[in-house]
Amino acid sequence: MSTNTDTDYDLIVIGAGVGGFDAAKHATHRGLKTALVECRDMGGTCINRGCIPSKALLAAAGTLRKIQHTEIFGISVEGIHYDRAKVAAHAMGVVEKIRTDMTKTTEKMGITVLRGKAKLLEPQKVHIETDSGIQTITAKDIILATGSEPFVPPGIEIDHHTVYTSDEGVRLEQVPPRIVIIGSGYIGLEFSDIYSTLGAQVTIIEALDQLFPGFDPDIGRMAERILIKPRNIRTMKGVLAKKITPGRPVRIELSTGETLETDAVLVATGRRPNSQNLGLEELGLETERGFIPVDNRMATAIPHLWAIGDVTGKMMLAHTASAQGVVAVENILGHERSMDYRSIPAAAFTHPEIGFVGLTEPQAKAEGYKVGIVRTYFGGNSKAIAQGETDGICKLVFDQESGELLGAHILGPEASLIVQECSAAIAKRDKIESLARLVHTHPTLSEVLDEAYKRAAG
């Protein structure tokens, strides 16, 4: 239990997104008197405008896609249609359910939730602007978990109706006949899956010379072949959208000199940290492109001040923020903990999915490893064949000298689940030789890993 009497709280967490929420839960569970400050909705971007509503939309799109391809099982379905408003309502209902559950959890655990905009006055003092006035509270330690927001490049005008970001996209207020998606990262890729399944003509504009630059090259090429080319999706690579003007139609001026007209534009060009107006400059804490520098313990350069999640720029994923929150709390308690980013998996919930963890082949080579790779394919997997989902690849990256598994990159059914096994292996720095002795249930999709381990072990 807390024994602190010099401050109002043992810990103040600023930002009630997934990372801040989990940090507050863990701190309270460990006996710290904790306050959680939030200026918007409980759950932050992930629950309200990101992971959760987008996955609800993808679940609807995936269900529709499956219904459209039942003939291989001898099942005929006629008169398939969807109700956009009901699809959107389902997504928002999921958001409300999870947000309400989070609020109930804070109440049950005795976490003080303060609504308002926070600013640091000192490393251990916070000024909060609330609807009822100004409140000042103190704590022995403070965790900044203020998250991020969509980045909109210069020249792009947002009107939130015809030109918008994922914040508006998850509400599915429309399925435009034609939509242009700016950016081919995982956000753009997931929305291309949603919109194309629901009947829109999709165009993806990518400023770089290759699509899906964040993925291993083999996965990027396979994604283009499976997720783009067979669908109602057009791509433009190495092209910059210099100016976008909202309206009906929306006008897009390209770096090629060409002008496109479309019904809507979704801007998916990355995210920027919410570090403005937190009082960091007054405390002498410098940011790097807006991101708050931290070490692997999640400590900033100022004692008793910590930062987690997107605002640190380490890995802009909700589960990364959660892990960082736990690490920060453990270090606050005096238990040395550090982050292991290599073992944190990520996924794109397209149909089929993409799951990956660790180093890509180019990254491993750049770090000086003697790189070995193996590839296996879902086309030879019994379970995939049985369920009619044979498109996909599993690629392992390993160190030929030590045998250590360095990375795993999977495109195929349930890839987000399959890759978790590799995440655990990388966390333990397992060797291919020991992984090849694991026994996988037959018939399961996870046998793509079984085959890959055995091939790598020779």
Catalytically annotated residues = 442
Which residues face 393 on adjacent strands? 377, 411
Spatial strand order of the sheet with 163-165 comes to: 163-165, 264-267, 178-182, 201-206, 233-237
Q: How far apart are CA 120 and CA 316, in angstroms?
A: 23
**Quick one: tokens of 11?**
């810990």
Residue type, 400: Q
DSSP state of 93: H
* CA–CA gap between residue 222 and residue 402 (Å, rounded): 29
Write out the H or E segment, with its range, that includes residue 447: helix 447-457
* CA-based nearest residue to 172, from 40, 53, 35: 53
The amino acid sitting at 41 is D
| Cα–Cα distance for residue pair 44/167, rounded to 1 Å | 11
Tokens 């044979």 found at = 390
Residue that the structure tokens 């990159």 belong to? 409
- Residue 34, classed as helix, strand or coil, is strand
Residue entry with tokens 């976008």: 244
